[in-house]
Amino acid sequence: MQQLPLDGVKVVDLTNVLAGPYCSYQLMLFGAEVVKVELPGTGDLARRLGPDPELNEARMGASFLAQNAGKKSVELDLKSRDGRAAFESMIAGADVLLENFRAGVLARLGYGWDRLRELNPGLVCCAISGFGQSGPMSGAPAYDQIIQGLSGMMSVTGTPDTAPLRVGFPICDTVGGLMAALAVSAALAGRHRTGRGCYLDLSMLEASISAMGWTVSNYLVSGVEPEPMGDQNATAAPSGTFETADGPLNIAANQQAQFETLCRLVGRPDLPADPRFAGRESRKTHRHELNQELNSALRAKTALEWEEMLAAGGVPAARILTVPQALALDQVRHRGFLTELPFPGAGERQVTVTGNGVMVDGAALRPRGPAPLLGEHNTEIEAAP
């Protein structure tokens, strides 16, 4: 079996829905053993989230299946004597504890950081929350859409006529989960040197603002307040979505050489000599006029024909695909990004889940089994000394 960077690392996962489970899914793909601690009889809320009512009723919602493959599930009531005893035994032997309760909830259950550190001085504890464990908003509830709105993300999504718009997938949950996985990995590396664990306080709001990159830095550094620009890139032109004979095409000719190559390949070698389009800043100023000229030329061929021609010439360009089309790309299949697993429990049904885009020593990271049934591994906890 392939040796993975986090083989031997044990994660106790108290999280539910997306940000936390997405974090522990990444850790699992890198080799960690993840044990989900779920409320007896109920489990992770994501078990009932998805487009298939039958799966939701069976506590195997699509959202749960997607983010929890390869994990174990135990049912514990942290308010009961037996549940607390089992939980403390698990913490004593764990490397990582993940939780995404509201700020202060775990401490009120009797498991603040001081108590957790007593149980296991080497423990890395990561608390994922909407706003962090401190500050005036720390106790407020937060889901992905709330963070999208508060971060400024929605204000720059869409056009001036349609903004604010929600990004079409739970990006703040995803970013929060990725940042948590990075923080946990860094803490484990630090513990290797010092032998001491640490407490990680992750704010999804702050992680999301950080992930907005130049949208935020343009304001902080240059004082330019970002505005919604639809499918156009504020940092360069031509860079955005263009029209072809059969549908839209993304082009990002962000460098002068790429712009000149683009103009030559679309049959408009005269455009770089036009004073409006000669330089980077002048192209941004006259973006609308430039886009009109290019759209007229691009309507001569299909999006796929332009994608192949422009990419071969070194100009970043590609069609805009649907999710099914993206998953069917030969490139995605070639790298083993998708894994087909047996459906949890009995039956011949299969379920397909994604990796994370990382290969280790040439092999794609894959879950080692399907998502667990609720309480599937209770007997392992009961049998533990």
HEC string of the chain? CCCCCCCCCEEEECCCCCHHHHHHHHHHHCCCEEEEEECCCCCCHHHHCCCCHHHHHCCCCHHHHHHCCCCEEEECCCCCHHHHHHHHHHHHCCCEEEECCCCCHHHHCCCCHHHHHHHCCCCEEEEEECCCCCCCCCCCCCCHHHHHHHHCCHHHCCCCCCCCCCCCCCHHHHHHHHHHHHHHHHHHHHHHHHCCCEEEEEEHHHHHHHHCCHHHHHHHHHCCCCCCCCCCCCCCCCEEEEECCCCEEEEECCCHHHHHHHHHHCCCCCHHHCCCCCCHHHHHHCHHHHHHHHHHHHCCCCHHHHHHHHHHCCCCEEECCCHHHHHCCHHHHHCCCEEEEECCCCCCCEEEEECCCCEECCEECCCCCCCCCCCCCHHHHHHCC
* Structure-block tokens of residue 28: 């699992």
For range 222-248, the mean pLDDT: 94
Q: According to the model, what pLDDT value does residue 384 have?
A: 57
Better pLDDT: 384 or 52 = 52
pLDDT-based confidence at residue 383 (cuts at 50, 70, 90): low
Q: Is the pLDDT of residue 143 over 90?
A: yes
What is the spatial distance between Cα 385 and Cα 383, in angstroms, rounded to a whole number? 6
Return the percentage of the chain with pLDDT > 70, whole number. Answer: 98
pLDDT in tens, 116-132: 999 999 999 999 999 99
Q: According to the model, what pLDDT value does residue 371 have?
A: 96
> Is residue 361 annotated as part of the catalytic site, yes or no?
no
Selected catalytic residue, list 173, 231, 246, 270: 173
Amino acid identity of residue 321, one-letter, is L
The yes-or-no answer to whether 10-211+336-383 and 239-243+248-319 have a common fold is: no
pLDDT-based confidence at residue 312 (cuts at 50, 70, 90): very high
196 within 8 A of 173, measured Cβ to Cβ: no
Q: According to the model, what pLDDT value does residue 304 have?
A: 97
For range 207-216, the mean pLDDT: 96
* In the chain, where the domains are located: 10-211+336-383, 239-243+248-319
Specify the pTM. 0.93
Q: According to the model, what pLDDT value does residue 221 have?
A: 95
pLDDT-based confidence at residue 381 (cuts at 50, 70, 90): confident
pLDDT in tens, 36-91: 999 999 999 999 999 999 999 999 999 999 999 999 999 999 999 999 999 999 99
What is the spatial distance between Cα 96 and Cα 187, in angstroms, rounded to a whole number? 10
Q: Is the pLDDT of residue 112 over 90?
A: yes
Q: According to the model, what pLDDT value does residue 345 have?
A: 84
Q: Give the distance from CA 174 to its chain's centroid.
A: 3
State residue 210 phi and psi, 5-degree precision: -60, -40
244 within 8 A of 306, measured Cβ to Cβ: yes
Instruction: Tell the CATH topology of 239-243+248-319.
Output: formyl-coa transferase, domain 3 (3.30.1540)
303 within 8 A of 248, measured Cβ to Cβ: yes
Q: According to the model, what pLDDT value does residue 348 have?
A: 78
For range 293-313, the mean pLDDT: 97
pLDDT in tens, 169-188: 999 999 999 999 999 999 99
Of residues 365, 295, 307, 302, the one with CA closest to residue 336: 365
* Structure-block tokens of residue 370: 């399907």
pLDDT-based confidence at residue 2 (cuts at 50, 70, 90): confident
User: If you average pLDDT over every residue of the chain, what do you get?
Assistant: 95
pLDDT-based confidence at residue 19 (cuts at 50, 70, 90): very high
pLDDT-based confidence at residue 382 (cuts at 50, 70, 90): low
Q: According to the model, what pLDDT value does residue 349 have?
A: 87
Q: According to the model, what pLDDT value does residue 380 have?
A: 85
Instruction: Tell the CATH topology of 10-211+336-383.
Output: Rossmann fold (3.40.50)
Q: Is the pLDDT of residue 347 over 90?
A: no
Amino acid identity of residue 289, one-letter, is E
Return the percentage of the chain with pLDDT > 90, whole number. Answer: 95
